[in-house]
Amino acid sequence: MYKKAIISSIVSLLLIAGLLSFKIPDAPNAGLKLPTGFTANMIADNIGFARHLAVAPNGLIYVKLLKTKNGKGIIELKQNADGIAEVINRFGDYGGTGIYIKDGYLYASSNEDIFRYKLDAKNEVISPDQPEVIVKGLLNRREHDSKSIVLDNAGNIYVNIGAYSNSCQEEDRQPGSMGRAGCPILDSAGGIWQFRADKPDQGYANGIRYATGLRNVVGLDWNQQLDQLFVMMHGRDQLHDLFPALYTTQQNALLPAECLYALKKGDDCGWPYIYYDQLLHKKILAPEYGGDGKKEGGKNAKDPDVAFPGHLAPNGLLFYTGTMFPEKYRNGAFIAFHGSWNRAPEPQAGYFVVFQPYKNGKPDGKWEVFADGFSGSAQKTASGRADHRPCGLAQGPDGALYVSDDTKGAIYKITYNK
Amino acid sequence: MKSTIIFLSMLAFISVSVFAQTVHKPVTKPATVSPVVNGKKIYLQYCLSCHQADGGGVQNMNPPLIGTQYVLGDKARLIKIVLKGFNDAVEINGQTYTNAMPAFNYLKDKDIADVLSYIRSHFGNKASAVKPAEVSLIRGPIVKTPNKKKYTVRSKNT
């Protein structure tokens, strides 16, 4: 009895101590590791599954949520002087990924449709409940359903329609199942489609399949220096699971590459027939189409500008045009890697933002990790149980870099001070 | 230096793949292995990449196998999920998941029973074991297609 009382008071003391010590001071740079001179602040948190985001010329931030929260799928944030962004509006009764601001309009996508909202002089949405439907009825068969969007300078909008398949097998993701001949998925998915940005109610019949052979693109951007579309493709999954005799689990973890492509109209990036092997620097025939891990393929398929290690899941792409960051960042590419799940049983990887330098429109040197630490610890990275996962990227009017996290719903702002 | 590393990793890559190709061949184990050992083996080989080592799944893509009504509930429904695959956009513990789960109809009754018993008694789950006979009952009118080590379900309207 007496013993019990002592034990329970010790336990409660420990509990109280635990509660008191819980409020740790904010970690510097919101827990991120950055190059010298850069600072990160978490300006918002817990807003929902924050996919892509767009920053207006006056600093207002619009965030697209993967799933609606309290019935709303777009969050508008206003940045206050104290460095906190407060939610000032919620609208849009649909979940999704894409959001982009261009010429006085806010564009946003569900997993089937693209909408636009006219902005007023203060970059506020005029009729949040009456968007114009620009494109409707895009294919959504759940797998690879994000419809990421970007606009060019000639009145066109580009949208990714992901393939509802891993590698166009007869039985999706079934070990040993072979690829479908003349993969029929490519007719309506597995590519980037182009539509007019100002014409209502467009569908497949009004669009152009701008580029094909792209399994799934989530991160894409219009490169202003080159006036050209760039996309990051998610490479295929499960080489070992599906073809254990050809690939080890180690190879499965690293292969194939996640590729950055500089697209021109009519390009074919080769999915599902080939994948890019970043170790061999070659386009390799997919095992579903007779490959053995070494046979090359895809003579007419495009080569990537940059090939990153497998399964890191590039969900955000941004060519930096600002002047806040040092000269070396100008016109280079930031990529938000959402982090892997497909590397199991090997450790998972990613959950960081990398920077790929560009010079005169070509990759210039090796990519480097720019912002790391989203996951919370090396252990959380390895297990895949990350606290935060970077997803969207946007540039502010002053050149600050914004990163959204679609796990906890944080928004980070990264700035540079000489 | 950099090129040596690349060369070495290429060499390792090539030798590993050659090795993997010549030596490994999926071997079907005799049906005498203990259910626990076999269940874990099947889980690691066929389920792990999507549902993960801890059974926690992958956010928005692959659901957890922890405490869900599908894992703990009706065995017939659970067996069907594995035999026929699952792509129904259902809510699982309040969330939806977008990936597609393939059919595992090519696995033997014992393998399916063992892996289901395994997930029902791991990851914090506590539910009764599944017997091979229960799987064969659900599998019902199934035919082994010639030449392919693959099973197809003969006209079932579920």
- How confident is the model over A100-157, as pLDDT tens digits? 999 999 999 999 999 999 999 999 999 999 999 999 999 999 999 999 999 999 999 9
The overall average pLDDT reported for chain A is 94
pLDDT value at A303 more than 50: yes
**What's CA B106's distance to the chain center, in Å?**
11
The sign one gets for the Cα dihedral A324, A328, A331, A337 is: negative
Q: Is residue A17 part of a domain?
A: no
CATH of residue B78's domain is: 1.10.760.10
Identify all chain A residues contacting B98, using CB atoms and an 8 Å cutoff: 142-145
Q: Cβ separation of B58 and A341 shorter than 8 Å?
A: yes
Chain A / chain B CB contacts < 8 angstroms = 87
| Mean pLDDT across A283-300 | 97
Q: Is residue A324 part of a domain?
A: yes
Q: Cβ separation of B10 and A251 shorter than 8 Å?
A: no
SS3 call for B18: helix
Chain A nearest CA to B57, separation (Å): 9
pTM, two decimals, is 0.88
Chain B nearest CA to A404, separation (Å): 16
| Mean pLDDT across A7-19 | 45
Q: Is residue A48 part of a domain?
A: yes
Q: Is residue B104 part of a domain?
A: yes
In this prediction, residue B141 carries a pLDDT of: 61
Q: Is residue A82 part of a domain?
A: yes
Cβ-proximal residues to A13 (8 Å cutoff; 6+ apart), any chain: none
Mind listing the pLDDT tens digit for each residue in A57-113? 999 999 999 999 999 999 999 999 999 999 999 999 999 999 999 999 999 999 999
Locate the chain A residue with the closest alpha carbon to B52.
Answer: A344
The overall average pLDDT reported for chain B is 79
Q: Which of A21-35, A158-172, A243-257 has the lowest mean pLDDT?
A: A21-35
Q: Is residue B22 part of a domain?
A: no
Q: Is residue A16 part of a domain?
A: no
Residue B33 pLDDT class (50, 70, 90 cuts): confident
- How many domains is chain A built from? 1
Domain residues for B124? 35-144
CATH of residue A295's domain is: 2.120.10.30
SS (H, E, C) chain A: CHHHHHHHHHHHHHHHHHHHHHCCCCCHHHHCECCCCEEEEEEECCCCCEEEEEECCCCCEEEEEEEEECCEEEEEEEECCCCCEEEEEEECCCCCCCEEEECCEEEEECCCCEEEEEECCCCCECCCCCCEEEECCCCCCCCCCCCCEEECCCCEEEEEECCCCCCCECCCCCCCCCECCCCHHHHCCCEEEEEECCCCCECHHHCEEEEECCCCEEEEEEECCCCEEEEEECCCCCHHHHCCCCCCHHHHHHCCCEEEEEECCCEECCCCCEEEECCCCEEEECHHHCCCCCCECCCCCCCCCEEECCCCCEEEEEECCCCCCCHHHCCCEEEEECCCCCCCCCCCCCCEEEEECEECCEECCCCEEEEECCCCCHHHHHHCCCCCCEEEEEECCCCCEEEEECCCCCEEEEEECC
Q: Is residue B153 part of a domain?
A: no
Q: Is residue A5 part of a domain?
A: no
Chain A nearest CA to B24, separation (Å): 6
Residue B142 pLDDT class (50, 70, 90 cuts): low
Question: What percent of chain A has a predicted confidence (pLDDT) above 90?
Answer: 93
- How many domains is chain B built from? 1
> Cα separation of A383 and B64, whole Å?
14
Domain residues for A306? 24-416
Mind listing the pLDDT tens digit for each residue in A307-350? 999 999 999 999 999 999 999 999 999 999 999 999 999 999 99
Q: Is residue B29 part of a domain?
A: no
Q: Is residue B76 part of a domain?
A: yes
Q: Is residue B21 part of a domain?
A: no
In this prediction, residue A73 carries a pLDDT of: 98
Q: Is residue B54 part of a domain?
A: yes
Q: Is residue A65 part of a domain?
A: yes
In this prediction, residue A372 carries a pLDDT of: 98
Q: Is residue A184 part of a domain?
A: yes
Cβ-proximal residues to A293 (8 Å cutoff; 6+ apart), any chain: A246, A247, A251, A284, A287, B17, B21
Asked if A389 has any chain B CB less than 8 Å from its own CB, the reply is: yes
Q: Is the peptide bond before A272 cis (omega within 30 degrees of 0)?
A: yes
pLDDT value at B13 more than 70: no
